[in-house]
Amino acid sequence: MQHMQSVKTAEIALVLVFRGETEIERRAFAIKETIAIGRDPFTDIILEDPTVSRLHVELRREGDDLVLYDRSSNGTTVNGKSVTRHVIGDRDVISLGRFTLIVELHADSKTSLYEEAHAEGWTMDDDRTIQCAEPVAKPARVEARS
């Protein structure tokens, strides 16, 4: 599996949680500061298992990057390599305890929609309105037949 470097405009992290081959949770986070993952009920993603530390890992925003910090006594791997700190890339596979997490990085939805509209030739007159570059003709009125 090929992994991209971190998505520099990522604002949303989708975290998929697996136990074995079964997906047990899927959570989306706005990447603002820290996403805490562990066994403690006060973490953002709770993994109830004795192989997981109370605070196992933190995902922290650092500039344009999302950085994983291992806070556990049991260790964490990313893409099969043991890490204590790792800059997360799109679709990185994190293993902690009996769980596997896949992190998908997505651009901010509003930003990406505007970028998409620009690429398609649309122009924007303000933050709330998107106008078509070419006026769209109104469909002709169809008369009802009796």
pLDDT digits (tens, 9 = 90+) for 51-60: 999 999 999 9
When comparing pLDDT for 109 and 23, which is higher? 23
Per-residue pLDDT at 140 exceeds 50: yes
Determine the pLDDT at residue 13: 82
Question: Considering the entire predicted model, what is its pTM?
Answer: 0.67
Determine the pLDDT at residue 144: 57
CB 38 within 8 A of CB 79: no
- Under 8 Å CB-to-CB from 133, ≥6 apart: which residues? 121, 122, 123
Per-residue pLDDT at 116 exceeds 80: no
Three-state DSSP state, 71: coil
Report, as an integer, the average pLDDT of 27-48.
89
Contacts from 27-34 at CB under 8 Å and sequence distance 24+? 31/59, 31/61, 31/66, 32/61, 33/60, 33/61, 34/58, 34/59, 34/60, 34/61
Q: What's the CA gap between 39 and 3, in Å, rounded?
A: 28
Per-residue pLDDT at 47 exceeds 80: yes
For residue range 83-109, list pLDDT tens digits in order: 999 999 999 999 999 999 999 888 765
Instruction: Indicate the pLDDT class of residue 3, thresholds 50, 70 and 90.
Output: very low
Per-residue pLDDT at 127 exceeds 90: no
- Under 8 Å CB-to-CB from 82, ≥6 apart: which residues? 75, 76
Per-residue pLDDT at 129 exceeds 50: no
Determine the pLDDT at residue 94: 97
